[in-house]
């Protein structure tokens, strides 16, 4: 199950990185198209300067060419996507008995082991009355079954 989760995480990271790369390419292409449109507009204005430019030629009263370049915003979004999808490599550092309770008891400092032992004893005291009758009943039934088998073997 863990291997499937790790593979799924790797696939999600790859897909996210490829999507971000594609979006960045589209943003760069959009910026290049914007520059080409402005250049063409300037060239048409120059060629049609005697007639009032593009707007004068076509009698347009509202002839403002304004295209926003959102390439930087797209790059920032894709950068956030790749950071979000990236999971650093995790390595096994082995079992450390000194760090048995992790950061559970950070406020009490060096008394972690003592607090863990007290918690273990209290847990045993709470669970012992529940499991003790079950253990006694199981032992009694095993003994009774053994005695019945022995008496049945002697009778035959």
Evaluate if residue 140 carries a pLDDT over 90: yes
pLDDT band at 110; cut points 50, 70, 90: low
Instruction: Using alpha carbons, select from 74, 86, 75, 90 the residue that is nearest to residue 14.
Output: 86
Q: Which region among 4-18, 35-49, 51-65, 141-155 has the lowest average model confidence (pLDDT)?
A: 51-65
Rounded CA separation 26/60 (Å): 31
pTM for the model = 0.49
User: How far, in Å, CA of 105 to CA of 20, rounded?
Assistant: 42
Alpha helix segments (H runs only) across the chain: 2-47, 53-57, 71-85, 112-155
- CA atoms within 13 Å, Cβ hemisphere of 99: 6
141: CB partners within 8 A, 6+ apart: none
**C-alpha–C-alpha distance, residues 60 and 54, integer Å:** 8
């Amino acid at each position: 199950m863990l291997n499937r989760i790790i593979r799924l995480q790797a696939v999600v990271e790859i897909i996210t990185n490829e999507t971000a790369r594609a979006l960045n390419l589209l943003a760069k292409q959009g910026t290049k198209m914007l520059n080409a449109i402005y250049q063409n507009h300037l060239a048409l204005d120059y060629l049609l300067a005697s007639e009032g430019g593009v707007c004068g030629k076509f009698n347009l009263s509202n002839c403002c060419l304004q295209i926003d370049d959102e390439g930087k915003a797209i790059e920032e979004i894709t950068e956030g996507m790749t950071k979000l999808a990236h999971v650093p490599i995790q390595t096994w550092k082995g079992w450390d008995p000194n760090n048995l309770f992790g950061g559970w008891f950070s406020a009490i400092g060096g008394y972690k082991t003592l607090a863990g032992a007290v918690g273990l004893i209290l847990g045993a005291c709470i669970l012992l009355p529940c499991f003790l009758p079950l253990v006694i009943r199981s032992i009694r039934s095993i003994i009774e079954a053994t005695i019945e088998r022995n008496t049945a073997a002697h009778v035959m």
